[in-house]
Amino acid sequence: MRSVVTIIGKDKVGIIANISGLLADKNVNILDINQTVMQEYFTMIMLVDISNLSISLVDLKNELEKIGKEMGLSVRLQREDIFNKMHEL
């Protein structure tokens, strides 16, 4: 199964390091990354494979949100199928 991690907020040092560190620690494989910085605002979308996730999806979501809070970013995790369902026939 795949999920989408979205990080939005003010750019700063260590965003990718912190997020990807946690993902690696929980056995999540990053499949694709799309990132831009527009007027200091950082938007990163990661497509991740959670098939071998070592904790529950909800726990991973909580931990990601915790990092987001500490770094002053909006970090969210959503299952990929919601976007496919909504935007594709």
Task: Provide the binding-site residues for another protein, judged by CB under 8 A.
Answer: 4, 6, 8, 32-34, 43, 45, 47, 57-58, 61, 76-79, 81-83, 85-87
| Distance of alpha carbon 3 from alpha carbon 80, whole angstroms | 4
| Distance of alpha carbon 57 from alpha carbon 32, whole angstroms | 19
Is the CB of 13 or the CB of 15 nearer to another protein? 15
Is the CB of 17 or the CB of 86 nearer to another protein? 86
Taking alpha carbons only, the member of 32, 2, 37, 38 closest to residue 20 is 32
Is the CB of 13 or the CB of 52 nearer to another protein? 52
